[in-house]
Amino acid sequence: MKTHLLCAIAQLNFKLGAIDENAQAIIRAHQQAAAQQADIMLVPEMYLSGYQLDDLILVDGFMDQIDAAISNLAKLTANNAPAMIICAPRRAGGKLYNSVYVLDGGVVVATRDKVRLPIGGVFDDPRNFAHGVMPEPVVIRGVSIGLPICEDLWHADVVRHICQHGADIILCPNGSPFEIDKTDQRIQTAVGRAVENKVPVVYVNLVGGQDDQIFDGASFAVNSDGSLGCHMPSFVEALTMITLTGDDNGWTVAGTVTKPEEGLAAIWRCVVLGIRDYVQKNGFERVILGLSGGIDSALVAALAVDALGADQVEAVMMPSPYTSQSSLDDAREQAKRLGIRLDDISIAAGMDAMDAALADSFARGDAGLARENLQSRLRGLTLMSISNTTGALVLTTGNKSEYATGYATLYGDMCGAYAPLIDVWKTTVFALATWRNANHPQGVLGQDGEIIHPDIIEKPPSAELRPDQKDTDSLPEYAVLDDIMQQLVEAMISPSELIKNGYDAAVVTRCARLLRLAEYKRKQAAPGPKVTKRAFYRDRRFPITSAYDGIGD
């Protein structure tokens, strides 16, 4: 009986659809594993293709490239090189599977398919994948190893079946995107499977941004007694060696334990990685945004600098006759603190020109709201024109509270390619700004210190589209609004239930109505990083045309 196994855990950042590029990353990791005399290298779920593929997997020729890449990778395991456990889609019998491939001795020695296909939240695996059969373990380098894939670990029957058929160790590849408190949930689930079946569980996760989904890594291993044997860092690539040791009492796992990011630090790192990967994986280098002197644009600018560096971030101040001097001063100070370029382009002339062009139309009714939205749309037009000229990607600056209520202008402040704060509530925006001024996160490119102007954090939020305007003219106080909206959106509690629980009926009814009416705007919003349990992009799928208000009689 083999009693010692050295396993390399390859927590890698992928580029979806870049099969050859991902294969090269696997090769580099395999070389590192070989240099450290690993027996096996484990790679995350669907790494070779990237995840989630949606209907890209159906494109003619895609699976041919996958098959060719796997064949080439298998050859690298010849001559006593480390075995590889890699993950990719697999086709068989006219069906597609989410699969794990065991490569050893220069060939593919086994495959196992994902049994439990997640549906709901951000996932819709059954759309393109077939369910696998209950898997049995694979003997790799003399050890019986179970290979459940991601969701399979959350189902006790799958792991129980594997262990009843003789698995000594569970190696579980995952593609699990970040959300608040998800790390603890993963560990507790793995501990449950480990203790129930008296086997160690090794969990390797993807890292990197893919549109709205940010995979945080944070791979780990737990022992059969529930103790933590290894924990890898969050939001960065890493290759870690773990030692698995067996005796008459079973197997244990040992490695380096790194404390994962939590709370505001984790949210910050998530959004930074989301910006960086969205920009760079889509072939851009620079970003541009409107800098108003308000908290949202200041925070997005700071996040962009942390993601890309100050020399790759450009801001534009676009004052109107309603822009206060304090906002102009705050925007300039904010740009100075971040070390970014700031252009000043007034929209006053554009407002006058549009007022003249639309005079007859404006005379047909109350044009107050139209004139307010016109300002926002002129700013969007300005940013997109600069983007077309310079090739910089436009970042939008709206937050989740605004997207929830529709307190945003289509083709105006919603204009852009990526929305870093789309899943960040306004109250969290303030908390993040204060936190970043007191902390310098690991791996960021921005400077330490008070990078967000304190005056911006302290002043009341305002769109400044009319004289003396405040957000609270149109919305409840953000502490009240966010509390109600979190329960409506993330907890899916009905308005009638909130009212029964003691919330003010008028405020709840108003919030629910705003949420329902803004659905058409959210359908046209740019994607942004998922942070909470239920984001707007994939997690919450509501119809635009709907008369249901959830209030009841």
The answer to whether the beta carbons of residues 335 and 288 sit under 8 Å apart is no
Q: For 22, phi and psi rounded to 5 degrees?
A: -65, -35
pLDDT value of position 548:
87
The answer to whether the beta carbons of residues 301 and 337 sit under 8 Å apart is no
Reported as a single tens digit per residue, the pLDDT across 453-485 is 999 999 887 766 677 777 777 788 999 999 999
The contacts of residue 391 (CB under 8 Å, 6+ apart) are: 284, 285, 286
Task: Classify 148 in phi/psi space as left (phi over 0), alpha (psi -120 to 50) or beta.
Answer: beta
The contacts of residue 524 (CB under 8 Å, 6+ apart) are: 410, 414
- Give percent helix, percent strand, percent coil of the chain, each to the nearest 5: 40, 20, 40
Q: What is the C-alpha to C-alpha distance for residues 2 and 82, in angstroms, rounded to an integer? A: 16
Q: How remote is the C-alpha of 140 from its chain's centroid?
A: 34
The answer to whether the beta carbons of residues 414 and 398 sit under 8 Å apart is yes
Q: What is the C-alpha to C-alpha distance for residues 549 and 88, in angstroms, rounded to an integer? A: 43
Specify the long-range contacts of residues 427-430, CB closer than 8 Å, at least 24 apart: 427/401, 427/478, 427/479, 427/482, 428/264, 428/267, 428/482, 429/295, 429/296, 429/299, 429/399, 430/295, 430/457
**Ranges in the chain, pLDDT < 50:** none
Task: Classify 46 in phi/psi space as left (phi over 0), alpha (psi -120 to 50) or beta.
Answer: left
The contacts of residue 397 (CB under 8 Å, 6+ apart) are: 289, 290, 292, 296, 297, 299, 300, 413, 420, 421
- Cβ atoms < 10 Å from Cβ of 248: 6
pLDDT value of position 1:
64
The torsion angle over the Cα atoms of residues 105, 110, 113 and 115, rounded to 10 degrees, is -120
- Cβ atoms < 10 Å from Cβ of 133: 9
From the list 270, 275, 265, 266, the residue with the least C-alpha distance to 312 is 275
Burial 433-456 (b: 16+ CB within 10 A, else e): bebbbeeebeebbbeeeebbbeeb
Residue 198, classified by CB atoms within 10 Å of its CB into exposed (0-12), middle (13-18) or buried (19+), is middle
Reported as a single tens digit per residue, the pLDDT across 175-192 is 999 999 999 999 999 999
Task: Classify 301 in phi/psi space as left (phi over 0), alpha (psi -120 to 50) or beta.
Answer: alpha
pTM of the model: 0.95
Q: How remote is the C-alpha of 363 from its chain's centroid?
A: 46
Q: Which domains does the chain have, with CATH numbers?
A: 4-255 (3.60.110.10), 265-522 (3.40.50.620)
Query: Order of strands across the sheet with 393-394?
Result: 341-344, 313-317, 287-290, 393-394
Q: What is the C-alpha to C-alpha distance for residues 82 and 176, in angstroms, rounded to an integer? A: 26
Which amino acid, one-letter code, is at 87? C
Q: Would you name the residues annotated as active-site residues?
A: 45, 114, 150
CA distances from 418 to 155, 331, 398, 415, 437 (A): 35, 21, 10, 9, 24
pLDDT value of position 472:
76
